[in-house]
């Protein structure tokens, strides 16, 4: 009799354990299904980028003598730098002497730029750390310069913790450095990524979606967080993480056109120096950026121009040093390597990817050589089309 009772109790314990397991699996599968539905939509967008409502209007005019560069006007401070590069008469003249012409095309995020880089429409572009890592392992790229080193933020409608995001609808640009920041924040708070509601969105849609209640929070780079904070008295930054951004080129383009790449990098250095020389110059660049965003998205950027200038000064524009890729970023166990491992473990990049492939893509020596020869590259001369 006692033996039978013990068996019954044991069976009940096993049944309860099995019930708990089924409940957890149901929750996990529900979460997986939810993110899969969201991501399948996102993946469709990614695979159809040639038919994107804006990108399909671009005339890339593929030619051996035409250099197409992808930019991100809503990515600070790179948006200011590339607006100046568009108007850099020295760059235009130097490339013309080599038989080249350059065109710049605006994109919402680095993941989009990677699509057109892979298809051959672009020779190079700008992307944050996650897009750069994905390009490095999926393509063959050359990344010689740091374009951004600052904060990304998770913004919520109220003062909550990251742990409170469980079950909430979170917006972010898919495949971007903001996407990585969100995943990393969730990991640190012990939340499985499948236990939030994923809402992949374009960077320009996030502040309004938060204000309208379509999402509970979002992860993004500047100026989207500042726009949201200015737009709602209840909005709050609940997490901040450091992010880096890069200009990179297809390896084939770089190896065949090293002189052209050197002049493009020299134009980046000129733009940074020109803005550092006088804050009035940053205001001029910011006015160009505001116009480009309006032309690109069809809507004005809802942020005061002085805030744009301040954001730039808090990033690379405010640094006196050369925008070299930091040595620690090239090392095993450095920030990029940790991100690489993190993304591999979560299948955001192929699990078989090797760090050495990424490391071979990063090289600051070319930038050092340009900086060491200012006369050749006209580093301290400025000639911008101001009207």
**Residue whose token pair is 């065949």:** 256
In terms of Cα–Cα distance, which of 148, 144, 168, 172 is closest to 158?
168
For 359, residues 6+ apart whose C-beta sits below 8 A from its C-beta are 330
- Strands of the chain (E only): list them: 66-71, 101-106, 124-128, 141-156, 169-172, 197-200, 217-221, 236-250
For 180, residues 6+ apart whose C-beta sits below 8 A from its C-beta are 129, 130, 243, 339, 342, 343, 348
CA-to-CA distance for 249 and 266, rounded, in angstroms? Answer: 15
In terms of Cα–Cα distance, which of 167, 193, 168, 164 is closest to 180?
193
Structure-block tokens of residue 203? 């960077």
- Strands of 72-207 (E only): list them: 101-106, 124-128, 141-156, 169-172, 197-200
pLDDT at 117: 97
For 259, residues 6+ apart whose C-beta sits below 8 A from its C-beta are 98
- In order of their start, the domains of the chain are 49-147+245-377 (3.40.190.10)
pLDDT at 62: 79
Q: List pLDDT tens digits, range 218-244.
A: 999 999 999 999 998 899 999 999 999
Structure-block tokens of residue 46? 């990614």
What is the CA 143 to chain-centroid distance, rounded? 14
Cβ-based neighbour number of residue 102 at 10 Å: 21
For 339, residues 6+ apart whose C-beta sits below 8 A from its C-beta are 129, 130, 133, 180, 184
Q: What is the pTM of this model?
A: 0.86
For 156, residues 6+ apart whose C-beta sits below 8 A from its C-beta are 164, 165, 210, 216, 217, 235, 236, 238
Nearest-10 crossing angle of helices 89-97, 258-277: 170
In terms of Cα–Cα distance, which of 120, 122, 125, 121 is closest to 143?
125
Do residues 184 and 130 touch, judged by C-beta distance below 8 A? no
**Residue whose token pair is 């070299």:** 324
Do residues 80 and 96 touch, judged by C-beta distance below 8 A? no
CA-to-CA distance for 223 and 95, rounded, in angstroms? Answer: 32
Regions of the chain with pLDDT less than 70: 1-47
pLDDT at 47: 63
């Amino acid at each position: 009799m006692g033996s039978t009772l013990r068996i019954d109790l044991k069976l009940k314990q096993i049944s309860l354990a099995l019930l708990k397991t089924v409940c957890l699996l149901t929750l996990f599968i529900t979460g997986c299904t939810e993110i899969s539905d969201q991501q399948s939509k996102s993946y469709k967008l990614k695979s159809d980028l040639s038919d994107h409502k804006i990108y399909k209007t671009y005339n890339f005019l593929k030619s051996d003598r035409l250099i197409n560069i992808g930019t991100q006007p809503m990515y600070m401070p790179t948006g200011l730098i590339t607006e100046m590069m568009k108007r850099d008469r020295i760059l235009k003249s130097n490339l013309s002497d080599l038989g080249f012409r350059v065109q710049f095309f605006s994109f919402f995020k680095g993941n989009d730029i990677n699509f057109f880089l892979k298809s051959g429409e672009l020779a190079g572009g700008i992307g944050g750390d996650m897009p750069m890592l994905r390009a490095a392992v999926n393509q063959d790229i050359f990344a010689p310069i740091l374009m951004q080193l600052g904060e990304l933020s998770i913004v919520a409608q109220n003062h909550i913790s990251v742990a409170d995001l469980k079950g909430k609808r979170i917006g972010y640009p898919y495949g971007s450095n903001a996407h990585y920041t969100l995943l990393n924040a969730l990991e640190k708070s012990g939340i499985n990524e499948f236990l939030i509601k994923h809402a992949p969105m374009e960077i320009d849609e996030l502040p309004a979606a938060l204000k309208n209640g379509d999402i509970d929070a979002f992860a993004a780079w500047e100026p989207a967080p500042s726009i949201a904070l200015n737009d709602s008295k209840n909005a709050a930054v609940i997490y901040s993480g450091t992010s880096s951004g890069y200009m990179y080129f297809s390896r084939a383009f770089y190896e065949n056109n090293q002189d052209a790449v050197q002049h493009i990098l020299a134009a980046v250095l000129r733009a940074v120096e020109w803005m550092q020389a006088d804050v009035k110059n940053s205001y001029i660049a910011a006015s160009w950026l505001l116009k480009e965003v309006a032309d690109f998205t069809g809507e004005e950027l809802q942020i005061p121009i002085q805030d744009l200038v301040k954001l730039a000064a808090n990033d690379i524009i405010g640094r006196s040093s050369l925008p070299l890729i930091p040595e620690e970023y090239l090392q095993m166990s450095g920030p990029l390597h940790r991100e690489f491992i993190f993304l591999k473990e979560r299948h955001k990049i192929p699990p078989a990817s090797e760090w050495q492939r990424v490391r071979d893509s990063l090289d600051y020596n070319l930038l050092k050589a340009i900086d060491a020869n200012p006369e050749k590259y006209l580093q301290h001369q400025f000639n911008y089309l101001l009207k």
